[in-house]
Structure 1
Amino acid sequence: MKKIFISVLDSSAELYISRVSFFIDKKTVIYSTSPKIRRSEKVLDITDLSTVGLPDFRRVFFRIIFLLRFIGEIKPDKFVFCDSPDLHIPVGIIVKSLLGEKVKNIYFIPPTVWAWRKHRKEIVEKFFDRVIFIFPFEKDIWTKNGVYVGHPLCKIIKEENIYSDYGIQIRGSDLPSHKGVICFLPGSRYSEVKNHLNLLISLGREMRDYVFLVPTRFSPLIEICRGDFSLKVVPQELSRFAMRISDFVISASGTATLESALIGKPTVVFYKLPYLSFELAKRMIEKDIRFISLPNIILGEEVFPELIQEDATAEKIINALNFVKEKNFESVSKKLFEKLEFFDFLDIAKIIDDV
């Protein structure tokens, strides 16, 4: 019986691959790093290492060690690595170097070599047998062993309904009826949330007529901000439902910006990094990259205002909100659905089965 190991850390990639795993050949035994992959015979949980306060390079190192030990124990025939290239590229290289053609490496949602660290393209093509990518502009990049499948969010968002239990759960909670609602998305990583806390506090104090809904898996960190403005923390998996019931979205750059665009919500994008990290990032990003948010990159125009570093202030974000509230984002949503048209989770499973 064939054995497959699925390694995923990013929450968005976890959502996608959990849907895919349902359609993988039933004769295949699945091992994974995600409890959401319900067919998993055994799960290695490596998420705890994301909150212990270790520097990034040490967290990656320990995760690599944990993964390699687990791989040695289960001895899979096939690997599916999802996103998180700092972790998965080294593991993929080690596995392929040691086992060669005895195993097959698949990369689902490959590194963003179109934005930075172009050298990774050659590495991925050398050590991974198949690359499954989700953005149409990547067709010119992954020409050797790539397969385009469209973006899974298109299917997921179409299937979701504002009147689901999740939506009712948020709407029926203690949100003041006399206030507007802003969905504030500080990022999916601990470091991002920490960097954006002061901005949340400043916005809350300036916009007292609004409740700030904050979807996150780091609720104790957000609770620090609780004080003289209205704040409600909800689980990160409810983020899209929080967006749907909000008047506006204020989001750190990331997958959340694409979610809000597909939903059709007026959104302002921001991002802040420590000074040295920002200066380093500037030197690594490709010169032809004009935007930081996915909707703007995909459509090639600024549909969402972007405020970075010293421009990411409460005053400038409020001004940008006044601008976006006058725009119609239903047309933006329609364009994105057309550009990112998704095949099906079954199709991705077939690609994995056939490698």
Structure 2
Amino acid sequence: MKKIFIITGEYSGDMHAGRVAEILKQKNPDIEIEGIGGENLKKARAKIYCDHSKMSGFGFSIKMALDHIALEKKVADYLLNSYKPDLVLLIDYGTFNLRVAKRLKGSGIKVFHYIPPQVWASRKWRIKGIKKYVDEVLCIFPFEIEMYQKEGINVHYCGHPLIKQLPEKADREQFFAKHGLDTTRPLVSIFPGSRTIELRFLANTFIKSAKQLQKKHPEIQFCISHAPNLSDDIFDKYINGTDFKVIKGENQALLSISDSLILASGTVALEAALYQIPMIIGYKGPWILYLAYLLVRCIKKVSLPNIITGEDIVPELIQAKFNTENICYETEKNLYNKEYRIGFIKALGMVKEKLSDKYSAEEVANEIIKAL
């Protein structure tokens, strides 16, 4: 019996892992799958070694960093001395996963990395570790292929998982009726992020901007997306003092029926682009980390729609530009400048054109089966 171990670090990785595991089981019911994940991996009949919440809880303190290293060593020891899988599938979560891969080097265990670190964006030196410790890279962006091939790294382009997995647009009238919204008024939705540090640095400015916009334009309705991986206590700590509707567990439906979006930088921007919803991207963090980022970045663009197309389609309000004045100005343009709005929506259509229509999870499963 062939054995596979999958490592994810957060909710999105668990979603991808669940789909890959489900397809693997369909193609070969005898494959044994274990891993670090959550409900999605569990639903795919994989044994959970530990919940991915143990990973996403890590932060910047010395204690948390030491906990991270301890878990990394514990996982590697388990793989080398107890479970002994034929193949380990790393999904995203580059820092932790590459350290585990390093510990597995020379063991005979094959290591594949699906959704590898974005070395084209920052810290390009990480590609050396990928070349040294990963047997095959399963990438999701077409422009990554040439980069890995130039380094002599075995790479397979799987296509982006969102292309096949993103649901159709929700029914606007049904969604509005369900949540007590008015279909005759514009809806602006706020996505403040899925990590505590994002809420800490972004939520207050997002909400202040929304209040200013609503004061000037009383017809605007606002909703705030509650990421499903964040507990109510953590979310409520940062989202307070507002009567805006909070929508939990319906992120993609909310994205798809909004008239404009205020987003934290991340995959959500790509989802919004595929739905062709005008948006702004906002991001701010500790200045010391931002200055460190400037030293290691390889490209100036931040949001995936802009990176994929090579165009400045989506306004990026980063660090010093992240303020209520800019957020309000850009959101007003998205809603009320008809010519600008039409051009924005048309430009977002280029994003899907640049991406393949491959079924990413099936491509990953096929590569794994070929390697076993």
Q: Secondary structure at the match of 1:265?
A: coil
Instruction: Report which stretch shifted further, 104-113 or 16-25.
Output: 16-25
Does the CA-based 8 Å contact 1:152-1:342 persist in structure 2? no
Q: Which residue number in structure 2 is paired with residue 11 of structure 1?
A: 11
Q: Which residue number in structure 2 is paired with residue 213 of structure 1?
A: 224
Q: Which residue number in structure 1 is paired with residue 246 of structure 2?
A: 232
Which residue, 300, 314, 328 being the options, matches 2:310? Answer: 300
Q: Secondary structure at the match of 2:143?
A: helix
Residues 5-84 of structure 1: pairs in structure 2 closer than 5 A = 5-24=5-24, 25-34=28-37, 35-37=39-41, 38-51=44-57, 55=61, 57-71=65-79, 72-84=81-93
Q: Secondary structure at the match of 2:363?
A: helix
Residues 339-350 of structure 1: pairs in structure 2 closer than 5 A = 339-344=354-359, 345-350=361-366
Q: Secondary structure at the match of 1:142?
A: helix
Q: What is the distance in 1 between the residues matched to 2:311 and 2:275?
A: 18
Per the TM alignment, residue 142 of structure 1 is displaced from its structure 2 partner at its CA by 1.3
Q: Which residue number in structure 2 is paired with residue 106 of structure 1?
A: 112
Per the TM alignment, residue 322 of structure 1 is displaced from its structure 2 partner at its CA by 2.2
Unaligned runs of 5+ in 2: none
Paired residue total: 345
Does the CA-based 8 Å contact 2:84-2:109 persist in structure 1? no
**Paired AA for residue 274 in structure 2:** L
Q: What is the distance in 2 between the residues matched to 1:258 and 1:108?
A: 18
Q: 1:63–1:205: structure 2 CA closer, same or farther, 3 Å change rule?
A: farther
Q: Which residue number in structure 1 is paired with residue 187 of structure 2?
A: 181
Q: Secondary structure at the match of 1:212?
A: strand
Does the CA-based 8 Å contact 1:7-1:80 persist in structure 2? yes
**Paired AA for residue 30 in structure 1:** I
Which structure features the higher share of helix residues? 2
Per the TM alignment, residue 336 of structure 1 is displaced from its structure 2 partner at its CA by 1.6
Does the CA-based 8 Å contact 1:271-1:312 persist in structure 2? yes
Q: What is the distance in 2 between the residues matched to 1:171 and 1:117?
A: 47
Instruction: Report which stretch shifted further, 133-142 or 325-334.
Output: 325-334
Question: Cα RMSD between the aligned structures?
Answer: 2.4
Q: Secondary structure at the match of 2:190?
A: strand
Does the CA-based 8 Å contact 1:296-1:303 persist in structure 2? yes
Instruction: Report which stretch shifted further, 208-217 or 1-10.
Output: 208-217
Per the TM alignment, residue 70 of structure 1 is displaced from its structure 2 partner at its CA by 4.1
Q: 1:115–1:124: structure 2 CA closer, same or farther, 3 Å change rule?
A: same
Q: What is the distance in 1 between the residues matched to 2:68 and 2:186?
A: 41
What's the TM-score once normalised by structure 2's chain length? 0.85
Structure 1 residue 351 corresponds to structure 2 residue 367: yes
**Paired AA for residue 14 in structure 2:** E
Q: What is the distance in 1 between the residues matched to 2:88 and 2:58?
A: 27
**Percent of aligned pairs with the same amino acid:** 27
Q: What is the distance in 2 between the residues matched to 1:213 and 1:59?
A: 33
Q: 1:23–1:313: structure 2 CA closer, same or farther, 3 Å change rule?
A: same
Per the TM alignment, residue 134 of structure 1 is displaced from its structure 2 partner at its CA by 0.6
**Paired AA for residue 71 in structure 2:** R
Q: Secondary structure at the match of 2:156?
A: strand
Which residue, 319, 322, 337 being the options, matches 2:332? Answer: 322
What's the TM-score once normalised by structure 1's chain length? 0.89
Does the CA-based 8 Å contact 1:258-1:295 persist in structure 2? yes
Q: Which residue number in structure 2 is paired with residue 279 of structure 1?
A: 291
Unaligned runs of 5+ in 1: none
